[in-house]
Amino acid sequence: MSKKSKDALLVIALAAFMYAGLSIIGIGCPIKFVTGVSCPGCGMTRACVCIIHGDFRSAFGFHPLFPIAPIFVYLIYSDSVKPKKIKKIALLFIAAAFFMVYLFRLFYGNDYFAMVEPTKGLVYKAFKIVFYCIKELKRSIE
């Protein structure tokens, strides 16, 4: 196994352990937790769990592009795809597909996984606390 393959497996394993740890403490998706807006991959983990159980219909419901994710990871970490231009075009195509599905799920879908709720995000809550403290400080000075 090449050094690059070992590094790729290490990155994937670390990401999986990090995600598992965040899920255990109730955070789940860190992007959604911080911003209140779903990430383009929301639903991907549940889709993979459905595949493990043989439920392909539910997997597509959780994220319709779940079969493309392993191809994306392979293309990023593989040197076997020649020429490099084809690899770049494939990566751009996959990224564009994820972006289009993401926008559709956000704006046109009735989707639990793709939501825009910034008031539930950590950033909003932090700003709310800061503005409350400033307001109270101003009030105590006056």
Range 78-102 average pLDDT? 84
Helix intervals (H) in the chain: 3-24, 30-35, 44-52, 56-62, 68-77, 84-107, 122-141
Residue 110 or residue 74, greater confidence:
74
> Token pair for residue 71?
């191809």
Closest CA to 66 of 89, 95, 44, 88: 44
Q: Are 76 and 91 in contact (CB under 8 A)?
A: yes
Could you tell me the pTM of the whole model?
Answer: 0.69
Contacts of 116 (CB under 8 A, 6+ apart): 36, 37, 38, 106
* Mean of the per-residue pLDDT values of the chain: 84
Range 31-57 average pLDDT? 88
At 109, is the pLDDT very low, low, confident or very high (cuts 50, 70, 90)? low
At 10, is the pLDDT very low, low, confident or very high (cuts 50, 70, 90)? confident
Residues, the chain, total? 142
* Angle (nearest 5°) at CA 56 between 52 and 59: 80
At 96, is the pLDDT very low, low, confident or very high (cuts 50, 70, 90)? very high
Where are the chain's structural domains?
A: 1-36+118-142, 38-115
- Predicted pLDDT of residue 1: 64
